[in-house]
Amino acid sequence: SYVNEEERLVFAGWSHGPQETCVTLAESGNYTIQYTHEVLLQVRSQLRAYRSSIWVPRGARTPLKVDAVVVERPGVRYSFEEWTSGESRFSPENTIAPVRPTALEVKWRKEYLLELEGPEGTRLVGFGWHPEGSAVVLKAPLIIPGAGQDERYQFAGWEGVSNPAVEIAGAAQPILTLRMDDTHKIRGHYKKSYLVDVRSPLGVIKTEWVLEGAQLAIEAPPSVEVDANKERITFKGWGGASLGSSAKQTLSVDRPLTINALYDTEYYVKVVSPYGATGDGWYIKGKTATVKVPDNPSSLFFLKKVFAGYAGDAAGLSPAINVPVTGPMTIIASYRSQIELVTLTIALGVLLLVGVAYLASLWLQHRVKAGWKPFG
């Protein structure tokens, strides 16, 4: 019989032993009907399979048990958290002795699996089961070493590969926060990069990691003055890659590259001459400079200038010389004055004739004045 909606008395037998509800009493005595007082025990759960409502003897220890983990579907599960009452509230196996109608709940934590994919051997932080609604920090190394010191992999971004794919805010960053709203599979995407080392005789022009297939612009100075007006280096090409002769280039990177800007050493050849010269200027080291000055630059009556030879960093008596250029050079052309004898003789002869003619003219004038008549 029911005491109320949540309590009842259940026939348990007769005081003299029989369990049947109907008995025949063969002798006189004190007979009583025995009842078990039962209360209603309700188990509530987010998971339907663990919901129950049972009658249990009042005060009797009643075991309760649930699974520690319940899989709803691949990547989604429920993990046991606690019972709201009982002797072992924080264990999946619990015991309760209700002395009154009791309702208790088993609480679960819904979890989603986050799967991370990346290059073999790469540790990506964030993989595993996470509570629904939790914020999970994803972390990937920015750089992964490659096969050699001049190869490596650079983080390129996160991409969802689950179905449906998740939209990832800030996917280009190696560290980000993801809100767990379902199970997801995410790949850490990496791109191969190569070290490009560009140098010149003066040092490093550019050392840079470049993604495979990317374009890289390089530029070398056309010329660099080492010693003002004496020594310089001039760009002549590139070594280590198939590039043009221009000092400014753009190349596609498909392997590690060590590129050298090649230069010629040039020296300045200075020619000092009062009457001009050819052959001065910049020369590549080891080349030959052809220097030439006037042999007889000028004459003044019977006096003329004659080339006397070279001094300074070169020597020679010929106005035209070939000089190997091994360093900065200053070549000085010297001249001397020379009397032109033929011109001087002619000049003296002319002067003598003029003098004789003049004296003869004076003598003749004197005789005429004295009354002399040459034809009288």
Find residue 154's DSSP bridge partners: 143, 191
pLDDT surpasses 70 at 83: yes
282-301, pLDDT tens digit by residue? 999 999 999 999 988 876 65
Query: What is the rounded end-to-end Cα distance, in angstroms, of the chain?
Result: 205
pLDDT surpasses 60 at 93: yes
Find residue 44's DSSP bridge partners: 105
Torsion, Cα 50 56 59 60, to 10 degrees, reads: -80
Q: Which helix H or strand E contains 369, and what residues bound it? A: helix 341-369
d(CA 104, CA 148): 63
Residue with tokens 């009452």: 85
pLDDT of amino acid 300: 65
Q: Which of 24-33, 201-210, 311-320 has the lowest mean pLDDT?
A: 24-33
Per-residue exposure over 176-213, b if at least 16 CB sit within 10 Å of its own CB, e if not: bebebeebbbbbbbbebbbbbbbbbeeeebeeeebeee
d(CA 149, CA 256): 10
Specify the higher pLDDT residue, 18 or 156. Answer: 156
C-alpha gyration radius of the chain = 58
Beta strands 184-200 and 76-83, pairing class: unpaired
Say what percent of the chain tops pLDDT 70.
94
Sign of torsion over alpha carbons 250, 251, 253, 259:
negative
Mean pLDDT of 222-239: 94
Q: Which helix H or strand E contains 345, and what residues bound it? A: helix 341-369
Q: Which of 261, 221, 210 is nearest to 240 (CA)?
A: 261
d(CA 18, CA 37): 19
d(CA 84, CA 94): 11
Q: Which of 297, 324, 298, 320 is nearest to 310 (CA)?
A: 320
C-alpha 195: how far from chain center: 9
Q: Which helix H or strand E contains 204, and what residues bound it? A: strand 203-211
244-256, pLDDT tens digit by residue? 889 999 999 999 9
DSSP at 352: H
DSSP at 48: G
Encoding tokens for residue 134? 């939790």
Q: Which helix H or strand E contains 351, and what residues bound it? A: helix 341-369
Q: Which of 137, 119, 120 is nearest to 128 (CA)?
A: 137
- Answer yes or no: are the C-beta atoms of 276 and 294 closer than 8 Å: yes
Specify the higher pLDDT residue, 299 or 117. Answer: 117
